[in-house]
Structures are given as C-alpha cells and as structure tokens.
Amino acid sequence: MKQQLTNILNSGRDSALLRFSLAKAFAASGELPEAVRHLQEAVRQKPDYSAAWAELGLNLLRLGENDGATAAWLKGITVATAQGDAQVRRQLEVSCDG
C-alpha cells in the first residue's frame, strides 16, 4: 500500500488526502518521521483538515515532541470547531487533556 501511494505521489498527483493516507501507511510501519513529514504537508495544503491535525499531534507525541503535539492538537481543535466537526474536536480535547 505504501509503495502504491508513493507511486501516485511521484506521478504528480499530490493532495492532502494522499498525504494523509501516506502518513497513515508510514506510521503503521513505524516510520514516524516520514509520517510527520506527510502530515505537515497535508495540513499545509489543506489547513482545515482537522483529522490530519489530530494525526499529526499523535505522531509528534510518539516521537516525544510533546510541545509540537499539543500545538497540533490545539490547532486541530480550532479547525474542528470552525468546521463543525464535533467528533474530531472531542478526540482532540481528550488528547490535550491526556
């Protein structure tokens, strides 16, 4: 799956959803720095992508970057609230409190 997604990216078909999917694939194989890189690009391309902010925070936390994780989650809460995405907002609020 990771290679297929990488091939799509290399063909020039970039998108926030593709970057999110790549990040999930890299995280699943333990390649957290690569996952973070793709998530950072996902939120750069689509700053209102609340699920990507949530995932970015989680992966930063796994890398021991607690301040970065909190910052991503707080941004995600702002985005989720603006989007009316209550489920992601609650998830992010729990992450920030945890």
The yes-or-no verdict on residue 98 having pLDDT over 80 is: no
Q: What is the pTM of this model?
A: 0.91
Q: Give the CA count within 13 Å in the CB-facing half-sphere of 78.
A: 8
Find, among 68, 70, 92, 65, the residue nearest to 81 by Cα: 92
Query: What residue ranges in 1-98 does DSSP mark as E strands?
Result: none
Higher pLDDT, 86 or 25: 25
Arithmetic mean of pLDDT over the chain: 94
At 12, list the tokens.
Answer: 């020039």
- Topology given in CATH for the domain delimited by 2-97: 1.25.40
Contact predicate 80/88, CB 8 Å: yes
Q: Which H helix or E strand runs over 69?
A: helix 66-83
pLDDT at res. 61 = 96
**Can you tell me the mean pLDDT for 48-76?**
96
Residues 6 and 77: their CA atoms lie apart, in Å, by: 29
The yes-or-no verdict on residue 89 having pLDDT over 90 is: no
At 82, list the tokens.
Answer: 């603006």
